[in-house]
Amino acid sequence: MSDRTSMLAQPLQRPSAGRAAAYLGLFALGAVVGLAGALVQGGWFPGGLLLALLGEAGLLLGGARAAESRAGAVAPAGGWMIAVIFLTASRPEGDFVFAAGSGSYLFLLGGMAVAVICATLGRGRQPGGDAVRLGN
């Protein structure tokens, strides 16, 4: 006899140690992509902006596919977001990474939009098996 309850009605379980390590690695990789994108978008506008956003989208979609869950896209998006937020603050010496130009704002807002889109496109939790039609 099969369990016919919805996946949403079943209790959440902690991820395994390997999956948690993968999410932590994706988080760190997201921070690296955010740092690289911040440097590239300002140095080579508009091509650098497109390259930075495409790199972020590739990481997020690749993470979602590798982890087979939306959390695979959310983890690097969180790393990207935190790295970019830290880079927006100016230092006491007056140094900063982002200038007050349209390219910087497009990178910040476009990166957030890419993160939301890619996290939405990632595969959600679906039950497996032949009797289930959700996977089709």
pLDDT of residue 110: 92
**CA–CA separation, 136 and 127 (whole Å):** 11
pLDDT digits (tens, 9 = 90+) for 85-110: 888 877 777 666 666 778 888 988 99
Please say whether the beta carbons of 94 and 107 come within 8 A.
no
pLDDT of residue 31: 95
Query: DSSP readout, 41-75?
Result: HHHSTTHHHHHHHHHHHHHHHHHHHHHTSTHHHHH
pLDDT of residue 133: 58
Other beta carbons less than 10 A from residue 81's beta carbon:
17
| Helix boundaries (H) for 1-136 | 17-43, 47-67, 71-88, 102-121
pLDDT of residue 52: 92
pLDDT digits (tens, 9 = 90+) for 57-75: 999 999 988 888 888 899 9
Higher pLDDT, 91 or 114: 114
Q: Which two tokens stand for residue 40?
A: 């590239």
Q: Name 55's Cβ contacts closer than 8 Å, sequence gap at least 6.
A: 33, 36, 37
pLDDT digits (tens, 9 = 90+) for 2-20: 556 666 666 777 878 888 8
Q: Which two tokens stand for residue 94?
A: 């007056």
pLDDT of residue 120: 87
pTM of the model: 0.77
pLDDT of residue 13: 77
pLDDT (mean) for 23-49: 90
**CA–CA separation, 14 and 16 (whole Å):** 6
